[in-house]
Structure 1
Amino acid sequence: MSQLWIENGTFITMDEDVPVLTGHMVITDDKITYIGEAAPAPVQLQQDVTRLDGTKLAFLPGLINTHGHAAMTLLRGYSDDQNLQVWLEEKMWPMEGKYVDHDTRSGTSLAIVEMLKSGTTAFVDMYDRMDEVAQMVDSSGMRGVLTRGVIGLCPEEVQQAKLKEAIAFARDWNGKGDGRITTMISPHAPYTCPPDYIEKFVQAAHEYNLPMHTHMSESIAEVEQNVRDYGCRPVEHLDRLGVFTRPALVAHAVHLTEGEIELLAARGVAVSHNPISNLKLASGIARVPDLLRAGVTVALGTDSAASNNNLNLFEEIRMAALLHKGISGDPTAIPAIEALRMGTVYGARAIWQEQALGQLKVGMKADFIAIDTEKPHYYPKTDIISHLVYSGSGQDVKHVWVDGKQLVKNGQCTTLDEEKIRYEAQASFERLLKS
């Protein structure tokens, strides 16, 4: 049994009643066992407790990235300033078609380093060769919600092979990594999977009691195509196919009607808002204030580094707070605390782990980060939540813990060889260019 006592820190608990407190927190093994203004009682401490001075640090729950494709870090900067369909069909898919297992592993490793060092402790990943992704999550100590994303634009025998692979991955890896790895079932999108194929994923999700994840209503062109092909918009289409009979998380949800927002709320569907990727691809701006008012859980995602171009969730938090003020003309549209909830509390809810993640309170998993508040942009000491959202950066992250284990110490990863990972990622990209 190990124990860590953080003394005299500033804790952004994300609790509605006491969102910020100055005091102490005790971690015993993988859980928070004490947090409060007063020092813990001797009975709550072990004789060999490790003590950490928190006087110049702010501690908050680890950030949760609810949509991405980690291995695509290899394609960061490869194709910019294109619309979604050109970017996908002419640039991304041809390069991704050249991937081998090592490329997925090296791209994922690079993504995990980037996410950990900028304060993300859990991430959703949709890709293929997911065994490679899961192995990296396991060995890094990070938390992952992983799914084999499937594009169904292929012959039936290939479709069946992909479906079997997706089911096998979800079945074999769910709960692995001491519970840090959970899995989902993911048809890539309504425009890449025929309706009868999506129904097979729904059936598998019911059979194996798994949630579902898909891209939805990302661009106007996608919505228009869905109407042409199936006579309805993507939300109604997926609802008819039974996708929302399972716990579901949809990425993007940019182009929605009032009725669609009401339906998502009624079905309990969570949305991963990816503001920077959506802006860069000119896909549009999701109706986040309307979704929140309707009771939809809205979390944040970076999407891939190929369309973002980084995995720094602090940027998404800040963008979410600013963007919706700007387009609505309402400076209260997304307050700072609400934007921070989207990266923590709502992120945990979106991946069905709100009982364990997203807040600093007794009984929660010890997934948390420490921010160096001695940087000049944290002065004067007025409102720490304002500073984190409007001034802060992933570069301010000093320490990171997941499941009570320290994965970043003084800005350096403790479980990963960063130099080797950078080298291998560069080598993989150069091989892809030449092949």
Structure 2
Amino acid sequence: MSQVLLEVGSLIQSAEKIVPGPAYVLIKDGIIVEVGEGRYGGVREGLTVYRRPAAVAMPGFVNAHGHAAMTLLRGIGDDLPLMTWLEEKMFPTEAKLTQEAIYWGTLLACWEMIQSGTTCFTDMYFMMHSAAQAVEESGMRGVLSWGMVGMDQTSRQNGVNNTKSFVRQWHKQASGRITTTLGPHAPYTCPADYLTLVADLSAELDVPIQIHLSETRVEVDNSFREHGKSPIAHSEACGLFTRPVLAAHCVHVSDEDIAILKAHDVRVAHNPQSNLKLGSGVAPIVAMKQAGLTVGLGTDGAASNNNLDMFEELRLAATLHKGIHLDATVIPAAEAFAMATAESARAVFLPEGHGTLTVGARADITLLDLRSPHFQPTHDLLSNVVYASGADDVTDVFVDGQPLLLNREPVTLDTERIRFEVRKIEEFLKR
């Protein structure tokens, strides 16, 4: 039995509950079994103890949408609209990627996310066996899918075959840290009958679905032209929402679309920075949350962001919508924090309690340095985290109670090797 005691200066259990500290977390076999204020009074024999009296412990961030290996494409095709960016820059460069490149690109993403306090992320890409291997080695938690498109018979069949193989090999592997979903790219790359097939395959394999929906105005206009309805209404008509679904972006949605999402408990991944950078727009998150939707936060891939820093998404989610609505009360700090932790966890189909530091939850924990200038003074700890702190304040990261980052040094990753391999891939892609 693995037993870990974490002693900290203060503790954010959830957006609703803060322990001003000092505080402790007791972990057995990766699960939080006790959380308390003050000093732990139990038997210490057999415990691995981490004393961090100048740190605040918080749930690790859950990145609800991304494409991990696109770290390799960071900076390629900046300042272009989405479809131009995809067709002229991304697709031609991605055609050069190999399994080895996917492996190293995913490890690079894991390094970046661990350093910035993320403990779990979603991924939709290709050659995903290599990505899963990287996630397993990193110690992170991953919700992974093999991207599916249905533009022709070959791509359709490859998508089905690759997905079946991937789900059967990797679902609930790495001591349960890896779970899988189906990953149809979007309605504009997956014809109606293919989306229906995906829903049936999801039921057969008993895993959820993640998909891009209503990301751009052009996508929505084309859907009305081709199907007479929005991408969301079209997906509903194809039977996709008979299964659990995580919908990324949902920027251009109507009240009717939001009602459809709510009726089927479709979860939404809000990607504010990527949507802004690609000129896609701003998702109506306030209306979604007022309707009762689960809304998590994601970075999207590093080719359209261009980093995987959830602190930036957290702060942007808490400020962007205030400006859009001319209302400083919308998306307050606690709501934004929940979107990056517990709400994101629900969005990506993690068990109840994940994204919190409560008894029974998996011990996915990030520590921030209370000695940082971002915490001087601390009138409101949660406010400091949301509006002031950043990735440079992260000191330690744990997943299932096991350290991935200690005193700002990665534990599970050979960062020099990652740098070396990524440089080689960069040189290859430039040829």
Question: Partner residue of 2:119?
Answer: 121
Q: Counterparts of 2:9 and 2:33 in 1: how far apart (Å)?
A: 16
Per-residue deviation, 1:209? 1.1
Cα pair distance change 1:251/1:8, threshold 3 Å: closer
Q: How does 1:153-232 map to 2 (within 5 A)?
A: 153=151, 155-232=152-229
**Counterpart amino acid of residue 252 in structure 1:** H
Question: Partner residue of 1:31?
Answer: 31
Question: Partner residue of 1:104?
Answer: 102
Q: Counterparts of 1:334 and 1:61 in 2: how far apart (Å)?
A: 19
Cα pair distance change 1:15/1:317, threshold 3 Å: closer
1:410 and 2:400 are equivalent in the alignment: no
Return the match for 1:273 from 270, 275, 286: 270
Q: Counterparts of 1:170 and 1:239 in 2: how far apart (Å)?
A: 24
**Counterpart amino acid of residue 34 in structure 1:** E
Per-residue deviation, 1:377? 1.8
Return the match for 2:420 from 384, 409, 423: 423
Does structure 2 retain, via aligned residues, the 8 Å contact 1:9–1:53? Answer: no
Question: Partner residue of 2:74?
Answer: 76
Q: Counterparts of 1:186 and 1:4 in 2: how far apart (Å)?
A: 36
Q: TM-score, normalised by structure 1?
A: 0.97
Question: Partner residue of 2:283?
Answer: 286
Q: Counterparts of 1:158 and 1:111 in 2: how far apart (Å)?
A: 27
Does structure 2 retain, via aligned residues, the 8 Å contact 1:15–1:360? Answer: no
Does structure 1 retain, via aligned residues, the 8 Å contact 2:82–2:280? Answer: yes
Unaligned runs of 5+ in 1: none
1:259 and 2:256 are equivalent in the alignment: yes
Give per-residue Cα distances to partners, 1:129-152, cap 9 Å, x unaligned: 000000011111110000001122
1:313 and 2:310 are equivalent in the alignment: yes
Question: Partner residue of 1:86?
Answer: 84
Give per-residue Cα distances to partners, 1:167-202, cap 9 Å, x unaligned: 221222111000000000111000111111111111
Give per-residue Cα distances to partners, 1:96-151, cap 9 Å, x unaligned: 01111111111111101000110000000000000000001111111000000112
Does structure 1 retain, via aligned residues, the 8 Å contact 2:268–2:295? Answer: yes
Q: Counterparts of 1:293 and 1:357 in 2: how far apart (Å)?
A: 23
**Counterpart amino acid of residue 27 in structure 2:** I
Return the match for 1:132 from 121, 130, 133: 130
**Counterpart amino acid of residue 412 in structure 2:** T
Does structure 1 retain, via aligned residues, the 8 Å contact 2:99–2:127? Answer: yes
Q: Counterparts of 2:15 and 2:324 in 1: how far apart (Å)?
A: 29
Return the match for 2:299 from 295, 298, 302: 302
Does structure 2 retain, via aligned residues, the 8 Å contact 1:13–1:21? Answer: no
How many pairs does the alignment contain?
430
Q: Counterparts of 2:103 and 2:48 in 1: how far apart (Å)?
A: 35
**Counterpart amino acid of residue 31 in structure 2:** K
Moved over 6 A (4+): none
SS in 1 for 2:260: helix
Return the match for 2:50 from 52, 64, 84: 52
Q: TM-score, normalised by structure 2?
A: 0.97
Per-residue deviation, 1:48? 2.9
Give per-residue Cα distances to partners, 1:347-370, cap 9 Å, x unaligned: 111122242410001111110010
Per-residue deviation, 1:8? 4.6
Q: Counterparts of 1:121 and 1:141 in 2: how far apart (Å)?
A: 9
Return the match for 1:241 from 238, 247, 268: 238
Does structure 1 retain, via aligned residues, the 8 Å contact 2:149–2:155? Answer: no
Give per-residue Cα distances to partners, 1:222-262, cap 9 Å, x unaligned: 00111111111101000001111101100000011111111
Does structure 2 retain, via aligned residues, the 8 Å contact 1:5–1:49? Answer: yes
Question: Partner residue of 2:430?
Answer: 433
Question: Partner residue of 1:62?
Answer: 60
**Counterpart amino acid of residue 230 in structure 2:** R
Per-residue deviation, 1:5? 2.1
1:337 and 2:308 are equivalent in the alignment: no
**Counterpart amino acid of residue 2 in structure 2:** S
Return the match for 1:143 from 135, 141, 145: 141
Give per-residue Cα distances to partners, 1:393-422, cap 9 Å, x unaligned: 112110000011101011111111001101
1:95 and 2:69 are equivalent in the alignment: no
Does structure 2 retain, via aligned residues, the 8 Å contact 1:115–1:121? Answer: yes
Question: Partner residue of 2:371?
Answer: 374
Q: Counterparts of 2:31 and 2:185 in 1: how far apart (Å)?
A: 35
Does structure 2 retain, via aligned residues, the 8 Å contact 1:345–1:354? Answer: no
**Counterpart amino acid of residue 218 in structure 2:** A
Once structures 1 and 2 are overlaid, which stretch shifts more, 348-357 or 277-286? 348-357
Once structures 1 and 2 are overlaid, which stretch shifts more, 133-142 or 52-61? 52-61
Q: Counterparts of 1:262 and 1:333 in 2: how far apart (Å)?
A: 21
1:361 and 2:358 are equivalent in the alignment: yes
Q: Counterparts of 1:71 and 1:129 in 2: how far apart (Å)?
A: 10
Identity of aligned residues (%): 45
